[in-house]
Every structure is written in C-alpha cells, then in structure tokens.
Amino acid sequence: MIRFDKLTVKAQEALQAAQEIAARHDQQQIEPLHLLAALLEQTDGVVPPLMARLGVRAEALGREIEAQLERLPKVAGVSQQYLGPAMNAAIERAFDEAGRFKDEYVSTEHLFLALAGAERGPAAEILKRHGASRDAILQALAALRGSHRSPRRRRRPPTGRSSNTPAT
C-alpha cells in the first residue's frame, strides 16, 4: 500500500495527473507510461530541467510516449482505475531511491529515477532510447541538486504542530 503521507506534494500531483492521463485515454490500469507523461508535464517540476540537461528533446519524447499510450488497452466507460503491477513496482522502487538518498519523502526525482531504473517496460525503454538512463539521470540530478537533500526533515513550527508535506 502506498504511503501518500510520505510523498511530496509534487509527487502526489504527478500520481494524480497519471490517473487523469489514463482516464483521458480510456485506460483502466495506470502504468509507468502515464506517470512518465505526468512528470514531463510538470513544467515547474524537476523532471523537465533534468531532461533538458540530458539534451533530450521534450517534443520527440512526448510524441513517443503518446504513441505508446495509444497502444495500451482501452476500456469504454472507465469508472474504476487501479495501479498496474508495473506501476506498483515503480512506486516501490521510488521509495527505495528516497532511502538511498536518505530523503524522508518520495519526490518526483525519486519517481523519475524509479521509472528509468526499471529493467524492462515501455517507459524505461523510451527513456533509455533518449539517453535518459538511470545513471545519466543521477549525474544530471547531482549537477542540479548538488549536496542538497530534498526534501529534508522539517523542524516543527513554534506552535508545536508538524509542518506541511514538502512541495518538491
């Protein structure tokens, strides 16, 4: 079960957007491809700058993702959506990535690394074809992130209430 309280706001938004993308395509099962499309659509997120740093042309990548989404099974009148096994595995890998970074929350960069780090599947294959392997992303991320651990543990506000979930 996904611990949504351990996802940053941006990561939660990406998962919600993935669900919406699946619904737009009349797809009941939410897949890593949906999440990849959602991460690339977050113009204020970390993934588009990472892709730019890697020299990946967003338009070409978007077209390839869209073509793959069109190939996924469709269900007329989708009312109940669910995470597919590959998506569940990707989210688990994202939690592992956060642990490797010693981050308290799973962020969009952890989700992105998890997608790229999959051994197989359309999302991982597309990323690799465009030069966005897990190792390449880690290098680009190190340049963007530096030594900053994101998000970091927040101190309690003076009122004694816990802080809000970080946005990154």
Write down the architecture of domain 4-145 according to CATH: Orthogonal Bundle (1.10)
Residue 2's pLDDT is what?
79
Q: What six digits make up the tokens of 97?
A: 């990535």
Distance CA 100, CA 128 (A): 22
Below-50 pLDDT ranges, the chain: 150-164
pLDDT of residue 158: 37
Instruction: Supply the pLDDT for residue 166.
Output: 57
Q: Answer yes or no: are the C-beta atoms of 111 and 14 closer than 8 Å.
A: yes
148, 153, 136, 130: which is closest to 40 by C-alpha? Answer: 130
Cis peptide before 151, with omega less than 30 degrees from 0?
yes
Cα 107 to its chain centre, rounded Å, is: 8
Say what the pLDDT of residue 28 is: 94
Say what the pLDDT of residue 120 is. 93
Model confidence pLDDT, tens digit, residues 110-127: 999 999 999 999 999 999
Predicted TM-score (pTM) of the model is 0.85
For position 168, what pLDDT does the model report?
60
What string of DSSP letters covers 3-31? Answer: -GGGB-HHHHHHHHHHHHHHHHTT-SEE-
pLDDT value at residue 139: 93
